[in-house]
Amino acid sequence: MNNPIPDFNDETIAKLVMELYGIEGKISALVSYEDQNARINTLKGSYVLKIANNRLPIEGLQVQTDAFEHVRKTVPTLNLPRIIPSIKGGLITIVDGFAIRLLTFLEGDVLANANRSPALYHSIGSFMGQFSNAMKDFNRPDALRPDDLWNLDNILACKIHLKDVVRSEDRARIERCFDTYVTNTQPKLPELRKAVIHNDANEQNLLVCAQRPDKVSGLIDFGDLQFASQVNELAITLAYALLEEKDIEMAAGEVIHGYTAEFPLEVTELEMLPNLLAMRLVQSIIMSSNNAKAFPDNEYILISQKPALALLKKLENEKPMIGAHVYV
């Protein structure tokens, strides 16, 4: 295969699962952006076969594997995927140039489909706070991706694509966000605690318990794992949690209180939180606009950014209190 994006058919996947893991089951495709994921349903349970895009270095996959094990040992009650070793004992197997792993399948519905409530928002914060607390000592420099355009510490690199945002009103608002960031936030970045963060706790990656719809049951998709400012984890979580939410202060307050009960913020982190939240929205808007330019026939890309544009406008115009009422 010359394509860096894997494209194995179901028959090949079934054969691989049997040869590598001695498992037989029904194969069904799972949505993925650049990797290939398949659910394996067996009589004894479900698994996810992950075939990685070969642009991601093997070292990045190893960091994910080590992070799973680190969290399992640190906070065993936190529900993350568990990697299943192959028959030969390996956790990562290379087939036709692609890295293959088998993970346990986490039950639960994605947050995008859940009915929002104060209790659920609090649970989102609590879960991610526990994750941050577990990861605070997982300092892996090999997870450093300073040039990644999805690294919030590297947000200024996205500005080169600002021209791809369609409406002048949106570009002007984003420019003002950049100005605030450069003046008030960027100079303080060296003061922030650093750690490996999930970096993408969005509405598709957080799972909600079917039996308890007010409780987060798990976190998936560690493909954006990276070494960065740890407060970015909360800012990113907030950016996605608040999309299409009418009561921003309530939702933000619950997420922040849930998070800080598990992982208290420092004063500087708390002060920077509102701007970092806005800059994650900026990052998402700019990157989706750039992708829309690259794939003009994909109308979904621009439609999906509408909630982010609306939230950024609301944050600027209404200036809800985010973080100011949390004491550290």
Mean pLDDT across the stretch 263-268? 95
Say if 3 falls within a structural domain: no
Question: How far apart are alpha carbons 170 and 176 in whole angstroms?
Answer: 10
Residue with tokens 């526990």: 130
Residues 278 and 238 reside in one and the same domain: yes
Return the pLDDT at 300. Answer: 62
Q: Which domain holds residue 42?
A: 10-105
Residues 14 and 27 reside in one and the same domain: yes
Contact (CB, 8 A) for 155 and 279: yes
Say if 323 falls within a structural domain: no
Residues 27 and 157 reside in one and the same domain: no
List the end-to-end C-alpha distance of the chain, in Å, as a whole number. 53
**Residue 295 pLDDT level (bands cut at 50, 70, 90):** confident
For 52, 56, 162, the CA distances from 99, given in Å and listed in that order, are 5, 9, 34
Report CA Rg, the chain: 20
Q: Give the DSSP letter of residue 144.
A: B
Residues with Cβ < 8 Å from 282, sequence gap 6 or more?
155, 158, 174, 177, 178, 312
Say if 326 falls within a structural domain: no
Quick: pLDDT tens for 131-185: 999 999 998 878 888 889 999 999 999 999 999 999 999 999 999 999 999 999 9
Return the pLDDT at 3. Answer: 62
For the chain, what is the domain count? 2
Count Cα neighbours of 250 within 13 Å in the Cβ-side half-sphere.
8
Question: How far apart are alpha carbons 274 and 283 in whole angstroms?
Answer: 14
Return the pLDDT at 35. Answer: 87
